[in-house]
Amino acid sequence: MKKFLPILILALLLLTLTACGKKNEGPSIDETEVTATDLNVATTDAQAFFSGDWYGWWLVMDPKGEIEMEDGDWFDCCATIRYTEPGVATMILWDEMTSKEEPLANVVLDVSETGKAYSRTGEFLSNPVTSNEWSLSKDLANYDNMLCFSSTFDDGNASFNYYVEMRPWGCVWDDVEENELPYYYEDWYLPLVNSNGAMPGTIGQ
């Protein structure tokens, strides 16, 4: 199902992208296999912030080429972030059209002790995510206790910009405007949270 953000919110997100979407210079890191484990190794509170389950939404902007999505389409998403060794975590991201087993994205992150995370290697919609292409930080978000990041998808046939905004699973989004809430927030997310339900591997079911 397609959902459209109001034009004003889209404009504000485009401004956010100038801060949230910059590719930060970082050390060149060799690629490693993208796998997640239950090992959670965080040496600082800033690193520990990333570890866990996340829920939010992602947004499509300026799509071009052979693509069925439209400008302003947005979709609920979930993610897990698990440390596999100190300072290195794996992020698995899925939306309402995918699942944890067959995710939207699977990316290795390098997380600094000061609370900045950068992609090392991985895939988004089966397209490579390169070193430092993703930059995640709670300091870039519009609200407290939130992660945001943005990037560009381009596989040669289709391209679009995308923006992701998430909070830890279990958070109540009562400080967010109603038209900025995830689509399934009230009918699916809140009932699960209120019943202490674990984050499922699919959304809206």
> To the nearest whole number, what is the mean pLDDT of the chain?
84
Q: For residue 108, what pLDDT band results from cuts at 50, 70 and 90?
A: very high
Contacts of 27 (CB under 8 A, 6+ apart): none
pLDDT digits (tens, 9 = 90+) for 30-57: 333 444 555 556 578 889 999 999 999 9
Phi, psi of 22 (to 5 degrees): -70, 135
Q: Which domains does the chain have, with CATH numbers?
A: 7-27+35-194 (2.40.160)
Pairing mode, if any, of strands 105-111 and 88-95?
Answer: antiparallel
> Full-prediction pTM beyond 0.75?
yes
| Residue 26, pLDDT score | 34
SS percent in the chain: helix, strand, coil, step 5? 15, 35, 45
Q: Are 183 and 173 in contact (CB under 8 A)?
A: no
pLDDT digits (tens, 9 = 90+) for 79-99: 999 999 999 999 999 999 999
| Residue 39, pLDDT score | 54
What pairs with residue 168 in β-bridges? 54
pLDDT digits (tens, 9 = 90+) for 14-36: 444 444 433 333 333 333 344 45
**Structure tokens, 103:** 């995710």
Q: Is the pLDDT of residue 6 over 50?
A: no
DSSP 59-104: EEEEEEES-S--TTBEEEEEEEEEEEETTEEEEEEEETTS-SSS-S
Q: For residue 5, what pLDDT band results from cuts at 50, 70 and 90?
A: low
Measured on CA atoms in the order 143, 49, 23, 61, is the torsion positive or negative? negative
pLDDT digits (tens, 9 = 90+) for 127-186: 999 999 999 988 878 889 999 999 999 999 999 999 999 999 999 999 998 989 999 999
Q: How far apart are CA 9 and CA 181, in angstroms?
A: 12
Phi, psi of 190 (to 5 degrees): -60, -45
| Residue 37, pLDDT score | 54
